[in-house]
Amino acid sequence: MNHSSARSVLATKLLLLLLTSALAPIALAQALPGITPAVKAPGTLRIATWNLEWLIAPRDFPQLARDCVPPKGESNNPRSIPCDVATEGGRVDADFEALARYARALDADVVSLQEVDGVAAAGRVFKSHSFCLSSRPNVQNNGFAIRQGIPFRCGTEVVALGLGGRVRYGVELVLYPGTAREMFLLSVHLKSGCPRQALDSRREACVLLARQVPELERWIDAQAAAGHRFAVLGDFNRDLLADRGPARDANGVQLGLWNEIDDGDPTGAKLSTVAEGQPYSNCASTQNYQGYIDHVVLGAALAAWRVPNSFVRLTYADADAASRKLSDHCPVGVDLQLPR
């Protein structure tokens, strides 16, 4: 073979390799019914959020199950799990492989994770990612999975969101630090049990969520005041698209979450949620929820980078939902156009 022919063969192989890499998510999506994420364009960054519902490594689950806490019981061990979670059983290898297939189909560069028990569990789903996870000793934690090769640093945890350890911290991530692409992301998992009720409700969940709102707004306002591009991603446990009433009543009592944090003060604190205007899709046909509680919320500066029509909602094939232990949540995401 002469040098010209050798170069031609090499070029062909390289082209096939590039095409294979680019089309891999499409092929995987076609192989798994129900998976229809948009294909990312070159130069874009896909950010997403995914609550993985008590994701615990198989090696750790048996001991946690033995030490579980019954309903209305108490434990001084922060790593205790509820006995109803223990009774349902842990995930097996096939469950993790199914979740990993969905992670590959999602094709996200950065994912805000919730309910993961450290790298031992998260790394079985996101096998080509690095992690910034909460330092809480608890099993149910949040943080980020970052595709390897993307410059980042783990930021300061927003411990105040944890209300003295009763609920989850916020986890900060800085992408492309010190460059024109720099952005600040916050992973949250807010208090559950108050999805649409007014925050002045006497329900304990609403009382706790109302206490978290000022801490969340403090982080948002600090990012806006500093001129940062920022986003908050996670399980808000709140239907933000339905939460559009007044932030406070005539006496200044807090009523809502969205209009409290989306007040545009300081400049740059005007927010948008990527699910706005999107029809709601349940994760599987067996679910009957009515609205999004998992959100990607963009600050004004980062929203300017949003790729039009790039909203991502990755749902589960019914066969997988029936046969595998996946999650009661599924991903929400969006693509951002990065500057060159």
- Distance CA(151)–CA(68), nearest Å, equals 39
The C-alpha atoms of residue 191 and residue 195 are separated, in whole angstroms, by: 9
Overall pTM > 0.85: yes
Question: What pLDDT score does 267 carry?
Answer: 93
Q: Is residue 172 included in any domain, yes or no?
A: yes
- Specify if 221 maps to a domain: yes
> Is residue 283 in some structural domain?
yes
CA 63 to chain centre: 28
Residues in the chain where the model's pLDDT stays below 70: 1-38
| Contacts for 215 with CB less than 8 Å, ≥ 6 apart | 158, 160, 161, 170
Find out whether 234 and 112 touch, Cβ atoms under 8 Å: yes
Segment (H or E) for 94: helix 93-106
Residue 4: predicted pLDDT: 47
Return the axis-axis angle of helices 3-31 and 93-106, rounded to nearest 10°: 110
Quote the pLDDT of residue 260: 96
CATH number at residue 295: 3.60.10.10
pLDDT for 177-225, tens place per residue? 999 999 999 999 999 999 999 999 999 999 999 999 999 999 999 999 9
Q: Is residue 144 part of a domain?
A: yes
State how far the Cα of 314 lies from the Cα of 112, in Å rounded to an integer.
15
Residue 24: per-residue pLDDT: 47
pLDDT digit string, tens, across residues 120-146: 999 999 999 999 999 999 999 999 999
3-state SS, residue 76: coil
Are 132 and 113 in contact, with CB atoms under 8 Å apart? no
Residue 174: partners with Cβ closer than 8 Å, 6 or more residues away: 152, 153, 154, 155, 182, 183, 184, 185
Total count of domains within the chain: 1
DSSP 138: S
Does some domain include residue 28?
no
The answer to whether 195 touches 293, Cβ cutoff 8 Å, is yes
Whether 21 maps to a domain, the answer reads no
Residue 125 lies in a domain: yes
Which residues have CB under 8 Å from 309's CB, separation 6+?
A: 38
Q: Report the run of H or E that residue 16 belongs to, with start and end.
A: helix 3-31
User: Residue 240's domain spans which residues?
Assistant: 112-306
Q: Contact at 8 Å (CB) between 37 and 334?
A: no
Helix (H, G, I), strand (E, B) or coil at 80: coil
CA angle, 250 as apex, 247 and 252 as ends, to 5°? Answer: 60
Place of tokens 């349902």: 88
Rounded distance between C-alpha atoms, residue 126 and residue 136, angstroms? 21
Q: Characterize the bridge pairing of strands 110-116 and 141-147.
A: antiparallel
* Residue 170 in domain: yes
SS3 state at 132: strand
